Chain A
Amino acid sequence: EAAVTQSPRNKVTVTGGNVTLSCRQTNSHNYMYWYRQDTGHGLRLIHYSYGAGNLQIGDVPDGYKATRTTQEDFFLLLELASPSQTSLYFCASRENSNERLFFGHGTKLSVL
């Protein structure tokens, strides 16, 4: 099965801190996605990309930047972290043929 690796698994930072979440897929998938998961909201799309150097805005982009450096690597950046960004973050890559999303294990971020 396709593999998506996220790091770190857990992160604690303070308000105003700088955080980078990493995601790597070795599935040769073109599309990659960053979601946040909060109780009562399901998965909400932050940013996505269809290839190296490309970035598309999702539904909840405020306070987040993203960068796709290669086909494999997609990063989510929080430059001035706020407590409202405390959440579980999932990265996913999309299978090219049937559009199935493969998710990483998630990064639990706490902003104090």
Chain B
Amino acid sequence: QQKVQQSPESLIVPEGGMASLNCTSSDRNVDYFWWYRQHSGKSPKMLMSIFSNGEKEEGRFTVHLNKASLHTSLHIRDSQPSDSALYLCAARVNTGNYKYVFGAGTRLKVIA
């Protein structure tokens, strides 16, 4: 079973709309989260990180984190066709050595 679960699997939003993506872990050794974006045919690139409870905003992107429930969410406002990509949630599993596990991803499509 994957340690990191993402929902929804896919999402279609109109240009200018809001996209909301979710990520949860069931592993109590998880302590930090990142969001990566992967455009088709490319490698993943880090979009945002969040390490403490609360909210973090960078431009059109906002992430939330609830450490008690190990839940993070990514919100993209004013979505653009260029935001169409696979969004991957990554979590750090802290068991002495740091390993980073990923969810299966949410495929976002923004239609004009």
Interface string of B82-102 (1 = CB under 8 A from A): 000000101010000111111
Q: Which residues of chain B are near A105, meaning CB under 8 Å?
A: 42-43
Q: Given known contacts A42-B104, A99-B32, A101-B90, is B43 in contact with A50 (CB within 8 Å)?
A: no
* Known A98-B49, A101-B90, A103-B45; contact A45-B104, beta-carbon cutoff 8 A: no
Scan B21-64; emit 1 where CB is below 8 A from any A CB, else 0. 00000000000101010000011111001000000000000000
Scoring A residues 16 to 46 as 1 if CB is less than 8 Å from chain B, else 0, what string do you get?
A: 0000000000000001010100001111110
Interface of B is mostly: strand
> Across the interface, which residues of A come within 8 angstroms of B98, CB to CB?
31, 94, 99
**Candidates B34, B88, B99; contact of A42 at CB < 8 Å:** B88
Name the distance in Å between B51's Cβ and chain A's nearest Cβ: 9
Please tell me if A59 contacts chain B, counting CB pairs below 8 Å: yes
CB distance from A45 to the nearest CB of B (A): 6
A67 to chain B, nearest CB (A): 17
B96 CB to closest chain A CB (Å) equals 10
A103:B43 contact, CB within 8 angstroms: yes
A56 touches which of B6, B42, B99 (Cβ 8 Å): B99
Q: By the criterion of a CB under 8 Å from any partner CB, how many residues of chain B are at the interface? A: 24
CB distance from B92 to the nearest CB of A (A): 7
Q: Is the CB of A100 within 8 A of B46?
A: yes
CB–CB A59/B101 < 8 A? yes
Return chain B residues, CB-CB under 8 Å to A40: 104
Minimum distance in angstroms from A2 CB to a CB of chain B? 11
Contacts A58-B99, A100-B34; is A42 near B46 (CB within 8 Å)?
no
| CB proximity to B under 8 Å, residues A68-106 | 90, 94, 98-101, 103-106
**In the complex where A50-B97, A103-B43, A105-B43 touch, is A42 in contact with B103 (Cβ < 8 A)?**
yes
Known: A35-B102, A103-B44. 8 other contacts (CB 8 A): A40-B104, A42-B88, A45-B99, A45-B100, A56-B97, A99-B92, A103-B43, A105-B42
Binding site for B on A (CB under 8 A): 31, 33, 35, 40-45, 48, 50, 56, 58-59, 90, 94, 98-101, 103-106
